[in-house]
Amino acid sequence: MAQATGAEGAAEFATAWQMIVEGTVSTQLIIGLLALFSLVTWALIVWKFVQFRRMHAQAQHFLVGVEQAARLEEAQVLLRSAPDSPFTRVFERGLTFFSELRPGALREATQSRGLTPAQLEVLRLVLEKEEGEERDELALGIQWLAIFATVSPLLGLLGTVLGVMNAFIGVAQSGNSNIGSVAPGIAEALVTTVAGLVVAIPAAMAYNYFVGRLNLFVGDLEGFSSEFIGSLAREGKI
């Protein structure tokens, strides 16, 4: 039974491939374009999955060290040995800007003069800007998954419409309207719709998955920035 099922599947694939090879130029062009979309889609999926996974591991390593640090000075020492990640870059940017506003304040146990409300607001804006840059960098490529998920079914539908038109034009020219003469053209036309859905479904699933991961990342990064400002306040530096 399994061998029979496998043989049937191979026969169906061979038939579909034959329809593409012997099909019209429009069908071949659309199938070729969809094949390119599929390759780019899977390349993006692998790239973004590896990128998110690596970022998560790096962030967890740094955040655990920050939580164990009693003071910001200890966290600053940890920053030198921690692997580069969005969280380390935000933390470093915040420390650098605070040191520019209050030189030497990080080495003092307490600070007699804190930041003014305007300076504190500027510090928040600097952190938000860094968060935005990290979000934009991590979101790079995800928008293409949405584009492929939207365009691929439309390209497939276009190929089907063109194929059906060609099939009926052929029937009109030959004068033979039986099902045997119409069916091959309709089947060929439907191949592009199937190809479009094959490209669009994984692209749509991956897009929604990565957007969810990106939103979680942005929330964690914003929370980390708030904790950084809270640590400055707790240690009497603002």
Q: Does a structural domain hold residue 92?
A: yes
Q: How far is CA 16 from the centre of its chain?
A: 32
The tally of domains found in the chain comes to 1
Contact by Cβ (8 Å): 126, 91: no
Q: Which residue has the higher pLDDT, 135 or 8?
A: 135
Does pTM top 0.85 for this prediction? Answer: no
Contact by Cβ (8 Å): 30, 19: no
Q: Which residue has the higher pLDDT, 181 or 64?
A: 64
**The domain containing residue 192 runs over which residues?**
37-234
Task: Quick: pLDDT tens for 44-85.
Answer: 999 999 999 988 888 887 777 777 777 777 777 777 777 788
Residue 185 has which token pair?
């053209």
Q: Does a structural domain hold residue 23?
A: no
What is the length of the chain?
A: 238
Q: Does a structural domain hold residue 204?
A: yes
Q: Which residue has the higher pLDDT, 198 or 114?
A: 198
97: closest CA among 87, 86, 105, 85? 105
The amino acid sitting at 125 is L
